Structure 1
Amino acid sequence: MPTNATPGRLSGCYVISLRPVGGHDAIRRAAARHGARTLALSPWRLETHGDRATRAALRAALAAPRVLFTSPAAVTAAARLRALRIGKAQTFVAVGAGTALALRRAGVATVDAPQRMDSEGLLALPSLASVRGLDIGLVTAPGGRGVIAATLAGRGARVLRANVYARVAIAPPPRAVAALRALDAPAWLLASSGEALEHIVARLPDDALAVLRRAHVVAASERLATLARGLGLRVAAVASSARPAAMLDAACAGAAAKP
């Protein structure tokens, strides 16, 4: 997606990515376009569930009139287990643009997604408004976004949950911690997951955490900005979405606003 930010605005800076193990490439590319290097600080790795119970739960979820995917990782994991094909009377829903793109790449041509890419924006979609008595498939992972299932159930829907992958927590990689300790350049921490942020803050050694707290945080939503402040982090900007390009554009705008 085109960006309006000035190329090289983050030259000499670091971007700290909290994406899962193996999931930092899009951040690296977006950061490099603005002259920044990336420090990968993964809080977990992703593990697809492929047991019989998971496959049965996914089959039921994919047969529902509404099928809701909570992340690109949920789409990827589901597509590994079963072809994603939308029926005539179905609506496939994505939590945001990244998830919608993953669905289209998996062969789903029509996807409903909110402009505001968070749980609140998702739940405001007309397709999820009048759902009393309706089955809704929720393709997701354990933990996270609990508000979605609870709100839909509160509206009278029957939520058919398929936990197709899991976030397996890991200790902060020693090399990444050492790089964080040694950081001597301005840093922008991209916060797109509250769980990831809480996990890293809880697991970092005190001296490395002190460096992280000096970083400028770009939050993917106001909710995440509030969470980051509560964890003692410095929020410099709120992005329009969790997409790497949007997060880096917000960092560039924040850098431009600094004296």
Structure 2
Amino acid sequence: MAITRPAGTAAALVTAVRARGGIPVLLPGLSLRAAEDTRAAATALDHALTADVIVFTSPAAVAHARQLHRLVTRAQVCALGAGTAKALARAGIKDVRFPDREDSEGLLAMDIMSQLGHARVALIGAAGGRGILRSVLRERSARFDEVHVYRRGPARLDARHRDAACAFEQHDHVLLSSAEALANLHRGLAGAPWQALLGATWIVSSERLAAMASQAGIAIVHVASSAQGPALLDMAAHVRD
């Protein structure tokens, strides 16, 4: 079972796969790095914490933000999903709203996000990705700030990753929760490894990601209820049965 989480962030999912009798194969689609200018990012985050509504886009956004500044705010805090909400709770922010549909569209459909009025909104994450979320928030709020507390980039994929990918067959599963990871894997594993992965069974975290996977040439795609590890694994088990 291929895990495409960012490099260094897949430990819990690896443990969960093994607990269910699977064999985890790490094929990281992303690498995460601190903001290039941490002082500027900390200053921007300090200002963002005074906004009316703050959106954290991922657990990684929470983790990197915590390294820059203590997360204390009177704002209404929103998260893209339950995993990010749990990370915020560990950071001391308990009152967090997140959508049942854990993606950009789900977040934008929440009442608080569709009735912003003149509220000042801050989006905490990394550059790139979440294009729909970014553009719609700009349309809905006259005062919108975006703070990049970390950077995303392609993970370093070597011969070990290519060899592992080449061994995949239809009954093998690939777990995917990021469009950027999909694109990076396509580029980083071009040739025989990617062709082998195209024939595997992919478990993705949203309908939008399923459409992207199909456009990339992946024939077998199943949509999990969320991007959380248990949801992805539940769908993989359902497909296998």
Q: How would you bin the TM-score normalised by the shorter chain?
A: over 0.9
Question: Which residue of structure 2 aligns with residue 149 of structure 1?
Answer: 134
Indicate whether 1:220 and 2:213 are aligned.
no
Q: Distance in 2 between matches of 1:234 and 1:148?
A: 28
Question: Which residue of structure 1 aligns with residue 48 of structure 2?
Answer: 61
Question: Which residue of structure 2 aligns with residue 75 of structure 1?
Answer: 62
Displacement of 1:184 in angstroms is: 6.4
Displacement of 1:64 in angstroms is: 0.3
Displacement of 1:185 in angstroms is: 8.2
Question: Which residue of structure 2 aligns with residue 84 of structure 1?
Answer: 71
Question: Which residue of structure 2 aligns with residue 11 of structure 1?
Answer: none
Q: Distance in 1 between matches of 2:160 and 2:9?
A: 17
Q: Distance in 1 between matches of 2:109 and 2:130?
A: 15
CA deviation profile, 1:20-59 (whole Å, cap 9, x unmatched): 1111112212211221111111123211125222111111
CA deviation profile, 1:158-210 (whole Å, cap 9, x unmatched): 21111000013234232121222244683111110011001101221311111
Question: Which residue of structure 2 aligns with residue 247 of structure 1?
Answer: 232
Q: Name the SS for the 1:167 alignment partner.
A: strand
Question: Which residue of structure 2 aligns with residue 167 of structure 1?
Answer: 152
Question: Which residue of structure 1 aligns with residue 216 of structure 2?
Answer: 231
Q: Distance in 2 between matches of 1:37 and 1:185?
A: 15
Amino acid of the structure 2 residue aligned with 1:86: T
For residue 19 of structure 2, the aligned residue among 29, 33, 42 is 33
The unaligned stretches of length 5 or more in structure 1 are 1-14
Normalising by structure 2, what TM-score?
Answer: 0.95
Indicate whether 1:133 and 2:125 are aligned.
no
RMSD (Å), alpha carbons: 1.5
Question: Which residue of structure 2 aligns with residue 7 of structure 1?
Answer: none
- Asked whether the equivalents of residues 67 and 138 of structure 1 are also in contact (C-alpha less than 8 Å), the reply is yes
* Mean CA deviation greater in 181-190 or 138-147: 181-190
- Asked whether the equivalents of residues 60 and 137 of structure 1 are also in contact (C-alpha less than 8 Å), the reply is no
Question: Which residue of structure 2 aligns with residue 195 of structure 1?
Answer: 180
Give the 4+ runs in structure 1 shifted more than 6 A. Answer: none
Indicate whether 1:42 and 2:18 are aligned.
no
Count how many residue pairs are aligned between Structure 1 and Structure 2. 240
* Mean CA deviation greater in 178-187 or 19-28: 178-187
* Mean CA deviation greater in 27-36 or 65-74: 27-36
- Asked whether the equivalents of residues 95 and 117 of structure 1 are also in contact (C-alpha less than 8 Å), the reply is yes
Question: Which residue of structure 2 aligns with residue 120 of structure 1?
Answer: 105
Q: Distance in 2 between matches of 1:111 and 1:78?
A: 16
Q: Name the SS for the 2:24 alignment partner.
A: strand
